Amino acid sequence: MLKKNIFKKISILSLVVVATIACQQESIDDITSVDPGTDESAPVVEITSPSDGMSFQTTAETTMLDIAFEVIDDIEVVEISVSLNGEEIEYYNEFTDYRIVPKEIAYELGDGDYTLTVQATDIVGNITTDTVSFSKSTVDYLPQFDEEAFYMNFNGNYTEFISNTEITVVGQPGYAGEAKVGSNAYAGNTDSYLTAPVDGLTSENFSATFWYKVNAVPDRAGILVAGPEDTENPDAQILRTSGFRLFREASGSLQVIKLNVGTGDAESWNDGGTVDPAAGEWAHIAFTISATETKIYINGALVNTATLATPMSWSGTEFFSIMSGAPRFAGWGHLSDSSYIDDLRFFTKELTEDDIMNVMEYTEE
């Protein structure tokens, strides 16, 4: 009797399994092939890096060039050829996605003039070519101003020219395709910024100058920050007892450039002045820090002064963040800046108004 009951249960279970599989099969559509149609259009080819007309200036004889492009076809890409000055440097004929093909190439570049060509062929033989021209030159840089201690020209590079060192890149910042000085300024991007050590810059008197083309999105951001790590608030990072924080915040349709300076036991706020994103123009920004006060200048004009009870402290400030408040000034959303910045200089002195005008006029030539 026991064996008969077990056999009966197994039989019922088998019927349930069969019925379930049958129901599942009825709910699944048959896989059918779809005719992709006729290839009616030639491929679309776009070189996104480098930009046409870019002039790379570096202090080294060679630099790594980031080549980036995308090929799109309505049916199928069959081959892509990448050439530099007529010599093929890459060839592709196998693709994960045959309709949309993004590619990036790292290429070591020496001095000279270059023409980059990307040629794509689709399945019926349509051919499209995109071409950009650019150049690379080695520059021996000497400081142009008294106590100039840090200089970045952003002409297709993230190099600090006085110490001849590559700056640390976080995330994926880009280039603007335009510049106030030279050919190609820094363009900010989400979660992206640069960092540089404060070595040789920790003077009681300090100044910075740069050209800036503000983007109002996001509505607030860090621009230049040197601050201590906030070990008590590791996620917020709001400690302001040393270093400085240059940042921007929205005020209606304008952006206010502000400065905060830490003096050890206290801090000082300079509420700065405004720039208009809608103008779409480059503005010259400068700030100075002395033992007793801070000043902010916009386009050579003094816009605000604030006092310091004691000189700025550099305690715990190992590095600068350029174009973001992260990682040391993140508590109020002053994160990566999507604006453009060009011709950045730091000085181990308090610049006068005449000094700032001299820098501004020099870089406008």
Instruction: State both tokens at 2.
Output: 């026991």
**Quick one: 123 and 212 in the same domain?**
no
Find the CATH number of the domain harbouring 103.
2.60.40.10
Find the CATH number of the domain harbouring 190.
2.60.120.200
Name beta bridge partners: 193. 170
What pLDDT is recorded for position 37?
A: 63
What pLDDT is recorded for position 282?
A: 97
Look at the chain and report how many structural domains it folds into: 2
In angstroms, the CA 307 to CA 292 distance is 6
Q: Is position 323 within any domain?
A: yes
**Quick one: 114 and 168 in the same domain?**
no
Instruction: State both tokens at 338.
Output: 């999507």
Q: Is position 339 within any domain?
A: yes
**Quick one: 279 and 248 in the same domain?**
yes
In angstroms, the CA 350 to CA 226 distance is 17
Residue 25 backbone class (left: φ over 0; alpha: ψ -120 to 50; beta: rest): alpha
Q: In sequence order, which residues have a C-beta less than 8 Å from that of residue 10 and are 6 or more positions away?
A: none
Closest CA to 296 of 234, 223, 195, 228: 223
Q: Is position 270 within any domain?
A: yes
Q: Which residue has the tokens 């920050």?
A: 225
Q: In sequence order, which residues have a C-beta less than 8 Å from that of residue 8 and are 6 or more positions away?
A: none
Task: Please give the residue range of the domain that contains residue 88.
Answer: 44-138
In angstroms, the CA 294 to CA 241 distance is 16
**Quick one: 202 and 347 in the same domain?**
yes
Name beta bridge partners: 109. 63
- Assess contact for 286 and 356: CB atoms under 8 A: yes
Instruction: State both tokens at 277.
Output: 């994103």
pLDDT (tens digit, 9 = 90+) per residue, 95-154? 999 999 999 999 999 999 999 999 999 999 999 999 999 999 998 899 999 999 999 999
Instruction: State both tokens at 354.
Output: 């005449």
Other beta carbons within 10 Å of 25:
8
In angstroms, the CA 213 to CA 285 distance is 10
Instruction: State both tokens at 121.
Output: 């062929």
- Assess contact for 91 and 113: CB atoms under 8 A: no
**Quick one: 293 and 220 in the same domain?**
yes
In angstroms, the CA 127 to CA 165 distance is 42
Instruction: State both tokens at 21.
Output: 């599989």
Cα 144 versus chain centre, distance: 27
- Assess contact for 243 and 317: CB atoms under 8 A: yes
**Quick one: 269 and 302 in the same domain?**
yes
Q: Is position 73 within any domain?
A: yes
- Assess contact for 64 and 106: CB atoms under 8 A: yes
| Residue 295: exposure state from Cβ atoms within 10 A (0-12, 13-18, ≥19) | buried
In angstroms, the CA 188 to CA 332 distance is 19
Domain boundary among 85, 118, 138: 138
In angstroms, the CA 260 to CA 296 distance is 11
What pLDDT is recorded for position 27?
A: 46
Per run of 10 residues, the mean pLDDT along the chain (length 365 residues) is 42 44 46 57 94 86 92 97 98 96 96 98 97 93 95 91 90 91 92 96 97 97 97 91 97 98 96 97 98 98 97 97 96 95 98 97 82
pLDDT (tens digit, 9 = 90+) per residue, 207-255? 999 999 999 999 999 999 999 999 999 988 999 999 999 999 999 999 9
- Assess contact for 138 and 118: CB atoms under 8 A: no
What pLDDT is recorded for position 60?
A: 84
What pLDDT is recorded for position 365?
A: 60
Pairing of strands 193-197, 319-322: antiparallel
In angstroms, the CA 255 to CA 246 distance is 13
Other beta carbons within 10 Å of 221:
26
Domain boundary among 138, 170, 192: 138
The pTM of this model reads: 0.80
Name beta bridge partners: 301. 298
